Every structure is written in C-alpha cells, then in structure tokens.
Amino acid sequence: MPMYHFELAIKLTQTQKLALVRKITDWHATTFRSPRFIVNVRFIDVSQGLLADSYIGGAQRQINRLFVSLRSGAGRSQEQLEGMADKLEGFWNEAVGKESIAQQLRGVFIMGELDVAKEAGFHLPLPGRFEQWVKDNTDEFHRLAEEGDPDAAQVVEEMKVRPEFQK
C-alpha cells in the first residue's frame, strides 16, 4: 500500500526500472510522510500472451500504462490526484523517455480503492497519520529490526534521518 502497477508493452532495462522505483518510492515517502517500505511497485509485461489482448477504442493496442491503488477515504482533491498523475508521468519520461508513441506512458489511472492495509504485520494508518504511527511503533520496529526484519530495519534507519519520525 500504495501499489504502483506498470503494464509494459515495451521492455525496460533494469536501470530504467530501478530509476522508476527509486523516484516513486522517494517521492511517495516524502510527499505523504510515510515509511518507504509501504511503497509497492510492480512491472507487468503485457507485450505477449493473454495480457497482450488489450483494446482501446475498439481496436487492439499495446500501450504502457500505470495503475495506482491508494487508500480510500484519504480525502485527496481532484487537483492533488491530477498532480500525482503528472508527477508519475514525469518520472517515466525522465527514466524511459517519450520520443515515440511506443515508448510513452499512455495512461495513468489512480484509484482510491484500498479500505484497509496491513503490511509486515502492521495495520497501516490513513495517509497523513504515518508520523505518529511510526513514533507509536518505534519500540516494535527496533525489536523487529534486531531480529532481522528488513522492513523494520529500513524504518529504523529512516527514523535516524527523517525528523518527522523522531520522538
């Protein structure tokens, strides 16, 4: 939570994928003041097989597009959502380019559809409440990090450098 699902009609290099993952994760975590471990990014190859059977305007087409699933009830305005779509398209253009139609990210679809989210054993708060949530769970993050949990270890590291997570 959130989940960024890229449907790819073209092959991206690992460098391009990592650039997108880093840009999205950094942007989401700082914009919504959330821990990085909650940001999920997935790349789905839709260039072949059953997933390639897509139609737009009644014609079969293969395009690159992004589906974003967010928490419902977060109260984001239309302007904020459009700003998110523009930002995400910009990340794509920086990492992949937009020189040809085949290379472009042709659709960004943001859906507020997740009512409850639980990750790494924690029920996640609504957006805007992560700062207190991290503070409230500090001891548990430290305990889990000491046991080797990579998500908790990442949050512990973030607590050291992100003022909003410090007590």
> Is 134 buried (19+), middle (13-18) or exposed (0-12) by CB count in 10 A?
buried
Beta bridge partners of 114: 71
Q: Is the pLDDT of residue 128 over 80?
A: yes
pLDDT tens per residue, range 17-41 = 999 999 999 999 999 999 999 999 9
> Of 3.30.429.10, 3.40.50.1360, 3.60.15.10, 3.30.56.10, which CATH number belongs to 3-120?
3.30.429.10
Average pLDDT over all residues of the chain: 94
- What's the pTM value of the predicted model, to 2 decimals? 0.91
Q: What is the DSSP string of 91-124?
A: HHHHHT--SSTTTSEEEEEEEEEES--EETTEEP
Whose CA is closest to 3, among 111, 132, 126?
111
DSSP string, 45-56: E-SSSGGG--EE
Q: Domain residue spans in the chain?
A: 3-120, 129-167
Asked if residue 127 has pLDDT above 90, the reply is no
Mean pLDDT of 91-99: 97
pLDDT band at residue 73 using 50, 70 and 90 as cut-offs? confident
Average pLDDT over residues 127-133: 90
Averaged pLDDT, 32-57 = 92
> What's the DSSP call for residue 10?
S
